[in-house]
Amino acid sequence: MQVQQTDRMSTAVRAARELAASQGSPELFTIHLLTVLSAQNDSTFSALLVANDVDLKAFHEFSANRSRQMIPPTSRKSADAIRPSGEHASLLEDAAVEMAEIGDSRLGTEHVLLAALKYRPGKGAWAVFGLSYPPVRKSLDAIRKNTAV
């Protein structure tokens, strides 16, 4: 399914590919995208973390460290040659479902966070930082004040 992304989301995916390439990763993993998104302190993704009492700097450091540790380096590839891992592609599909359920027309950073919490609860950063879907989803409504993307 081809989904239109917000400008911020498109920029984040490109930056995540560049991060993956710089780390010698053979694929783009979700942790690369989380690392990039948590560095954007003016995104809805970051606003949702902060609204749920997550220290943004600590989250970014956690995800950056995890991205460096989990991926065995391969020969360097250009960012354009980096393809999404199966896990990452699946998350983006789940994010598109979340986008549609909310009634949005473009995939944004918040949809990635919500999909990860909804379809991969209690894993990795979510467990470490005590995040779960219901309170984060409620925070989105408060942040947006009934507007759509």
- 106-122 pLDDT per residue, tens: 999 999 999 999 998 87
pLDDT tens figures, 37-83: 999 988 999 999 999 999 999 999 999 999 888 666 666 667 777 88
Are β-strands 83-84 and 27-28 bridged in parallel, bridged antiparallel, or unpaired?
A: parallel
Confidence of residue 2 (pLDDT cuts 50, 70, 90): confident
Sign of the alpha-carbon torsion through 44, 38, 106, 100: negative
Is 45:140 a contact under the CB 8 Å cutoff? Answer: no
| Burial of 86 per CB tally in 10 Å (0-12, 13-18, 19+) | exposed
- Return the CATH number of 7-144, one of 1.10.1780.10, 3.40.50.720, 2.30.30.30, 1.10.3720.10: 1.10.1780.10
| Burial of 81 per CB tally in 10 Å (0-12, 13-18, 19+) | exposed
| Model pTM above 0.85 | yes
